Amino acid sequence: MLDAATNRPDLPPEIARRRTFAIISHPDAGKTTLTEKFLLYGGAIQMAGQVRAKGEARRTRSDFMQMEKDRGISVSASAMSFDFGKFRFNLVDTPGHSDFSEDTYRTLTAVDAAVMVIDGAKGVESQTQKLFEVCRLRDLPILTFCNKMDRESRDTFEIIDEIQEMLAIDVTPASWPIGRGQDFIGCYDILRDRLELMDRADRNKVAESVAIEGLDDPKLAELVPEHLLESFLEELEMARELLPSLDPQSVLEGHMTPIWFGSAINSFGVKELMDGIGSYGPEPQVQRAEPRQISPDESKVSGFVFKVQANMDPKHRDRVAFLRMASGHFKRGMKLTHVRTKKPMAVSNPVLFLASDRELAEEAWAGDIIGIPNHGQLRIGDTLTEGEALKVTGIPSFAPELLQNCRAGDPLKAKHLDKALMQFAEEGAAKVFKPIVGSGFIVGVVGALQFEVLASRIELEYGLPVRFEPTQFTSARWVSGPKDKVDAFANANKGHMAQDNDGDLVYMTRLQWDIDRVERDYPDLTLSATKEMMV
């Protein structure tokens, strides 16, 4: 059978059962809690952790940095692989906090779909909208989960209208809530004609499911209190008339999103969402690359690095590169070519993640995410192949919005600071600029919270107290153009020039006026706020 949309033959069964997706949402919508429940249903953990809980229940598997545990927020994206039914899920939990959005943008380049989590009381929030725009740019299919229905939440139609209006996407209900807030008793699964009832007593218990035959089934009246039943039947009838029915092809093209309702903390609605990801989520997709695209069914192995995490294991100065497999069947010990340096690389101890727990990966297929421990050879944007010089494109690096000088608390340890900052720059946690005139480093980040994270990590991981001080510059732009023109420009503006950690030339600006002046006086040069990672 050919896939009608792309005319490609069917994928090999091992690849076709892969579902690689990210969870996106505004901070606090319940994303990390939902991730934990996914792991619970996938049989990967016995007891789901909660971000806000006491003692042992508090240790969520997907937040592994000390700072994440202390503050109850996710700071870096983490990857997890587990089986659910006949599917293999590769789930990437992303930070919702806008200060870490660059990590999230890059993560979205490595997945085939996104699960958007919305808070039933707050609807679509600003960060959700930003992340949604990125999904839209990449035409990612989106599945929506409306969380916290067991608390006071808004009218179901209101939530759906808001998604349709603010995100310009068709919404089709996959389930419908019965009651809300204190009255919330469960959902009616529209796709499979079942009644799902929530158990408030045991949060780790799977919801009870009752098969019913249509809405006239007398079982409904037995299980649903009368005052809720009437309004539920009315709402459902309206929904069926007013809202489009599910079109799987439209979902895959990113024009329609099915919405499930539930309460992640009560493990409710999560299993239906997971079934939905299996049934309606996309198989591993073709990856954009130069000089040609990479199709997942190619027999040769290829993959690209979308994230580097340093010091995941504090006892070893290790760095793990997260590699999204783009094609082929990888086996442990394979020799792959590192396209940027053209050197062969034996991948002898690749790991599969369950957040911070890891196990050796004996094999991996297109769609999987594996970790490759290395000592700094791999950077974000690198491609590994079985010899062909392919370069996966579309992984962005953004100009930082906040800049500060970074100095070591102990001047004798300045050399170590150099090493620590370079490591964080390669991890993508910050931009590090070395001014051409003067000493020290200028560190650039997207959000102020990142300075705190950096300072605490440099101290914890390198034993180096550092201080960040204000700088006269407010932003940075990468400079490109004919070499002689660039050199002349750099000589004339020495006080403003710096190099980033790749050695590329950067113009540090104080005001928008600086940028306008350069555009006026040097028409041959281009100042850009983004660059493709590691070209």
Digit-coded pLDDT (tens) for 201-255: 665 566 566 767 667 777 777 887 888 888 888 888 888 888 888 889 989 888 8
Task: Give the pLDDT of residue 58.
Answer: 39
Of the listed ranges 38-42, 43-47, 207-211, 368-372, the least confidently predicted one is: 43-47
Q: Is the pLDDT of residue 535 over 60?
A: no
Higher pLDDT, 533 or 130: 130
Q: How far apart are CA 303 and CA 370, in angstroms?
A: 10
Q: How far apart are CA 63 and CA 31, in angstroms?
A: 11
497 pLDDT tier (thresholds 50, 70, 90): very high
Q: Is the pLDDT of residue 342 over 80?
A: yes
Element (H, E) at 88: strand 87-93
Q: What does the mean pLDDT of the chain come to? A: 79
- Read off the tokens for 456: 């605490």
| Phi, psi of 443, deg, nearest 5 | -105, 135
Q: Is the pLDDT of residue 187 over 50?
A: yes
Element (H, E) at 170: strand 170-173
Of the listed ranges 25-39, 264-278, 485-499, the least confidently predicted one is: 25-39
For the chain, percent of residues with pLDDT exceeding 90: 6
Q: How far apart are CA 347 and CA 354, in angstroms?
A: 20
Q: Which amino acid is it at 262?
A: G
Tokens 């009560």 correspond to what residue? 266
Of the listed ranges 156-165, 269-278, 324-333, 385-394, the least confidently predicted one is: 385-394
Q: Is the pLDDT of residue 258 over 90?
A: yes
Q: How far apart are CA 186 and CA 174, in angstroms?
A: 13
Q: Which of 123, 121, 71 is nearest to 97 (CA)?
A: 71
Q: Is 0.95 topped by the overall pTM?
A: no
Q: How far apart are CA 478 and CA 529, in angstroms?
A: 7
Task: Give the pLDDT of residue 64.
Answer: 44
260 pLDDT tier (thresholds 50, 70, 90): very high
Q: Which of 153, 143, 158 is nearest to 178 (CA)?
A: 153
CA–chain centroid gap for 190, Å, is 29
Cβ neighbours for 108, distance < 8 A, ≥ 6 positions apart: 22, 24, 94, 114, 131, 134, 135, 138, 140
Q: Is the pLDDT of residue 375 over 70?
A: yes
Q: How far apart are CA 461 and CA 420, in angstroms?
A: 9
Q: How far apart are CA 37 and CA 50, in angstroms?
A: 9
Task: Give the pLDDT of residue 534.
Answer: 47
143 pLDDT tier (thresholds 50, 70, 90): very high
| Phi, psi of 463, deg, nearest 5 | 60, 35
Count of Cβ atoms closer than 10 Å to residue 304 Cβ: 29
Tokens 């079942």 correspond to what residue? 194
191 pLDDT tier (thresholds 50, 70, 90): confident
First-last CA distance in the chain = 38
Work out the angle at residue 132's Cα, subtended by the Cα atoms of residues 381 and 309, and round it to the nearest 5 degrees: 35
Q: Helix (H) and strand (E) counts for the chain? A: 14, 33
Q: How far apart are CA 157 and CA 177, in angstroms?
A: 11
Going through 277-334 in order, the beta strands assigned E by DSSP cover: 289-290, 302-310, 319-327, 329-331
- Read off the tokens for 5: 């949309």
Alpha-carbon dihedral sign for residues 240, 241, 242, 247 = positive
Count of Cβ atoms closer than 10 Å to residue 424 Cβ: 23
Contact status, residue 290 vs residue 128, Cβ threshold 8 Å: no
Q: Is the pLDDT of residue 284 over 80?
A: yes
Q: What is the DSSP letter of 254?
A: T
Q: How far apart are CA 400 and CA 445, in angstroms?
A: 5
Higher pLDDT, 32 or 474: 474
Q: Which amino acid is it at 276?
A: G
